[in-house]
Amino acid sequence: MYYRSANCVIIVFDVTRARTFEDVKFWVNEVQQKGSADVIISIVGNKIDRDNREISKETGESYANSIGALYSECSALNGDGVEQIFENLGKRKLSGGQQTKQAGLNLIEEKKSKSCC
């Protein structure tokens, strides 16, 4: 996986399978260890259209809050919530919710010393 210089990372799990939620912690650790310090992490619970839910929205939100990540839920099947994931990421990025690195050059004009002769 390439995430070393990623600005945002979306980690998706299946709300109907608790094992996939446990895997989220592995991927969060990977991103925190190998990604940039200011990466925005969004954790997404998928398959909210299904009835056999094993991970509650509150559980997902609680974990995301504990690590400073965003949390959203969606259904890839019918599209519910998908747009909101990207809107939340964009808002967080634009608001500077995480520290951002600024690229560019700082140009400082050197003061010329005055000489009398």
- Can you tell me the mean pLDDT for 54-75? 97
pTM of the model: 0.78
Q: Return d(Cα 114, Cα 95) in angstroms, integer.
A: 45
- Can you tell me the mean pLDDT for 26-54? 94
> Tokens 């690229």 sit at which residue?
103
Written as one letter, the residue type at 62 is: S
70-81 confidence digits (pLDDT tens): 999 999 999 999
For residue 3, CA distances in Å to 32, 34, 57, 89 come to: 10, 8, 26, 16
Domains of the chain listed by start with CATH number: 8-95 (3.40.50.300)
68-117 confidence digits (pLDDT tens): 999 999 999 999 999 999 999 999 999 885 443 344 444 445 555 566 65
Segment holding 87, helix H or strand E: helix 82-95
Structure token pair of residue 25: 């912690």
